[in-house]
Chain A
Amino acid sequence: MNTFFTTDTLIECTYLVATALFILSLKWLSSPVTARRGLFAGEAGMVLAIGGTLLHAGIIDYKLIAIGLVVGTIIGIPLGNVAMTAVPQRTALSHAFGALCVTVVGTAEFYLRAPDIGPFMMAVLSMEVILGSLTFTGSLMAAGKLQEVLPQRPITYKGQNFVNALLFAIALVVAVILVIHPDQIRLFPIMIVIPLIFGVMLVIPIGGADMPTVISLLNSYAGLSAAAMGFVLNSKLLIIAGALDGSSGFILSVIMSKAMNRSFTNVLFGGFGQIQTTAAGAKEAPPVRSATPEEAAGILGAASKVVVVPGYGMAVAQAQHKVRELYDSLTKRGVDVTFGIHPVAGRMPGHMNVLLAEADIPYDKLLEMDQINGDLAQTDVALIIGANDVTNPAARTDPSSPIYGMPILDVDKARTVMVIKRSMAAGFAGIDNPLYYLDKTLMLFGDAKNFVSNIVRELTGGSHGG
């Protein structure tokens, strides 16, 4: 008995240290300078906690644990080595795995303990499996949309919100019945299947432009379900890790929603794309001015301050390395080049920063919206690469626009605006962008990667001529 107590205390001590390391890990992540130290702290905490758990006295079967750890590692390594452009779908997939783990553990715990489950325990167990299973399918759907194996356009139908609310209500009612009558074991599968369907239904109407918010929200759910699992398993470590993950996802969701001037409910129940398709395309498009790579290179080379605004289109065209060449050749000529990053540019929080960092652009040149907007009036050229809605001045000026009130990058205040775009087709949200029809705007039609590399060729080839 005495030895058992000692081992148990030792295990708890490893959890205590792991908890401290997890908090330090997130604290050090606050700045790029200390971020890698934070990563090592997280890894150390993880190894410690797993090591401590393996000492657990009740464990009799190490074979299955070994199989799980080995197979998980084999799956994890390729998932850690995906291309940087695939990071959004990888992240969604990892939320699905996290939720899967929580859901199956919750299921196993229910069948081990039922019908001898107290009301509180059953309530957190219900929360664990409901959140877990809806996050599982919701994240798989999000990953499918991001990987483009599923249609990216929002899929909406009449009565959609009613169906979703009904599904969620059924799951809640089943949970309440189980809390009162935990011996109704037959009802438990319903509490898993209904949220699984609900997760699919929840993400179906969401378009690609709303993905940053949805991924953050699913992140938050994954964390909360893990915290609920911590309550079920009496594990403070898991409660804390879940609470940290849940609050991280929540903060990111709030930032993303604010950056789109929308509420959570609006993102989840809005069916964004539909509304704007009807709003756009009504009137005849006015003429635009277009320019060739030579002309664009001439203007960029003569500028003293250039702000590049990247968007999802840059990621799609894989243009970040060509953008780096452009950055180099302009910087060599003494042009001050910075990047203006909108919080929802791309498909997940921080997407553009990662791609540009991958292309070796120094992070102190990547400026947030608030930092760059004051400078744009003194900017010679704002070069927009694959971004659309985040630069749309209608958000400031046109109360009838669906994106009215959304904070944007004020690129229209720059002396010249250049937009690299494949065609005049409306952006992802289907909203017309008045920026393109301004006198100061030059449209550079073509694939982002090719166009940027043509500009670079002009700049480097013509440099001796002045």
Chain B
Amino acid sequence: MKLDLLTGLYVFMLAAFIGFEVIRRVSPLLHTPLMSLTNALDAIAVVGAIILAGEHKTNLAAILGTIAIIAATSNIVGGFIITDRMLKMFKSSGPRSSGSAGGSAK
């Protein structure tokens, strides 16, 4: 499936706009988990590494691909675990205010 330059740029531009709009709304409370989560999502680069290692076109490509899988997977696993640990810690002071607390995000 071919992706030409212009389509790619459209996709990039639209995704960047969505990113700006969505992430602007993230409460500063959660900026650290935001960073660890986007880092884990960014490690989706593992799909490129998997194809590279799996196709085994040359030994160099296979070795580099495996290194890339290791690096990306450690980000996926580590990123999701630590984000989960952090998010579990954020507790509201009472069940009453849990509904309104979300509103504090601008």
Please name 7 further chain A to chain B contacts, defined as beta carbons within 8 Å, in addition to the given A81-B82, A246-B19, sorted by A numbering: A25-B37, A53-B51, A58-B51, A94-B39, A233-B51, A241-B42, A244-B18
Q: Which residues from 42 to 74 on chain B have a C-beta closer than 8 Å to any C-beta of chain A? A: 42-58, 60-62, 64-74
A118 CA to B70 CA, complexed, in Å: 30
What's the minimum C-beta distance from A252 to chain B, rounded to whole angstroms?
Answer: 6
Given A107-B64, A112-B57, A97 and B71 touching (CB < 8 A)?
Answer: yes
Contact of B47 among A53, A75, A245 (CB under 8 A): A53
Give B73's nearest chain A residue, CB to CB. A72
Known: A343-B28, A353-B28. Contact between A215 and B71, CB under 8 A? no
Residues of A contacting B49 with CB < 8 Å?
68, 101, 105
- Of A39-47, A378-386, A405-413, which stretch is located at the interface? A39-47
Closest to A228 in B: B12
Q: How far is the CB of A465 from chain B (nearest CB, A)?
A: 28
Interface positions, chain B 14-36, Cβ under 8 Å from A, are 15-16, 18-20, 22-36
Cβ-neighbour of B42 out of A15, A68, A242 (below 8 A)? A242
Closest-by-CB residue of B relative to A237 is B44
Contacts of B18 in A (CB 8 A): 23, 244
In Å, the complex CA distance between A100 and B69 comes to 10
Q: Could you say which of B45, B51, B87, B105 contacts A226, with CB atoms under 8 Å apart? A: B45
Cβ-based interface call for A67 (8 A): yes
The answer to whether A98 touches B42, judged by C-beta atoms less than 8 angstroms apart, is yes
Q: Which residue of chain A has the shortest Cβ distance to B82 in the bound complex?
A: A80
Q: Is the interface of A mostly helix, strand, loop or mixed?
A: helix
Contact A111 B58 (CB under 8 A): yes
8 Å CB interface, B63-101 against A: 64-94, 97-99, 101
A239 — which chain B residues lie within 8 A by C-beta? Answer: 8, 11-12, 15
Question: Which 4 A-B pairs give the minimum distances between C-beta atoms?
Answer: A72-B73, A80-B81, A68-B69, A76-B77
CB of A169 within 8 A of chain B?
no
Please tell me if A149 contacts chain B, counting CB pairs below 8 Å: no
Q: Which chain B residue lies CB-closest to A27?
A: B22
Assess the B57–A226 pair: CB atoms within 8 A.
no
Residue of chain A at shortest CB distance from B76 = A46
Chain A hits for B2, CB < 8 A: 234
Return A427 CB to nearest CB of chain B, in Å: 22
Once the chains bind, are B84 and A32 in contact (CB under 8 Å)?
Answer: no
The 0/1 profile, CB within 8 Å of B marked 1, for residues 100-120 of chain A is: 111011011101100000001
**A69, B73: Cβ atoms closer than 8 Å:** yes
CA distance A252 to B65 in the complex (A): 31
Q: Which of the four size classes fits the interface of chain A?
A: 35 or more
What is the interface residue range for chain B against chain A?
Answer: 35 or more
Tell me if A146 counts as interface (CB < 8 A to partner B): no
Which residues from A are CB-within-8-Å of B85? 80-81, 84
Instruction: Tell me the minimal C-beta distance from A158 to chain B in angstroms.
Output: 35
Q: Nearest B residue to A86 by beta-carbon distance? A: B82
Q: Roughly how many angstroms separate A358 CA and B86 CA in the complex, as a whole number? A: 8
**Please, how many angstroms separate the alpha-carbon atoms of A108 and B67 in the complex?**
11
Q: Are A29 and B35 in contact (CB under 8 A)?
A: no
Say whether, besides A23-B22, A61-B56, A238-B45, A248 and B35 are in contact (CB < 8 Å).
Answer: yes
Binding site for B on A (CB under 8 A): 8, 12, 15, 18, 22-23, 25-27, 29-36, 38-39, 42-43, 45-46, 49-50, 52-54, 56, 58-62, 64-65, 67-69, 71-73, 75-82, 84, 87, 90-91, 94-95, 97-98, 100-102, 104-105, 107-109, 111-112, 120, 215-216, 219, 222-223, 226-227, 229-231, 233-249, 251-252, 255, 341, 343, 348-351, 353-354, 357-358, 360, 362-366, 368
Residues of chain A with a CB closer than 8 A to B30's CB: 29-30, 32, 35, 350, 353
Residues of B within 8 A of A222 (CB): 39, 42
Contact of B38 among A8, A68, A69, A223 (CB under 8 A): A223
The answer to whether A79 and B78 have CB atoms under 8 Å apart is yes
A59-B50 in contact (CB<8A)? yes
Q: Is the CB of A91 within 8 A of B39?
A: yes
The residue on A at minimum CB distance from B28 is A368
B52 touches A108 (CB 8 A): yes
Interface contact B101-A73, CB-CB below 8 Å: no
Distance of A226 Cα from B11 Cα, bound (Å): 14
Chain A to chain B contacts (Cβ below 8 Å), 18 pairs: A22-B44, A29-B37, A32-B29, A36-B88, A38-B37, A56-B51, A78-B78, A91-B35, A94-B74, A97-B74, A101-B43, A104-B71, A236-B3, A237-B47, A240-B11, A357-B91, A362-B93, A364-B92
A101 and B47 CA atoms in complex are apart in Å by 11
Q: In the complex the two chains form, is B65's CB within 8 Å of A244's CB?
A: no
Find chain B residues with CB under 8 A from A77 CB: 77-78, 81
Q: Verify A72–B70 contact, CB threshold 8 A.
A: yes
B92 touches A362 (CB 8 A): yes
- A243 B19 Cβ-Cβ under 8 A: yes
Contact assessment for B60 and A68 in the assembled complex, using a CB-CB cutoff below 8 Å: no
Most buried by B among A56, A84, A248: A248
Q: How far is the CB of B71 from chain A (nearest CB, A)?
A: 4
Smallest CB–CB gap between B67 and chain A, Å? 5
**B55, A59: Cβ atoms under 8 Å?**
yes
A54 closest partner in B (C-beta): B50
CA distance A231 to B30 in the complex (A): 30
Q: Given A77-B77, A241-B41: A231 and B28 within 8 A (CB)?
A: no
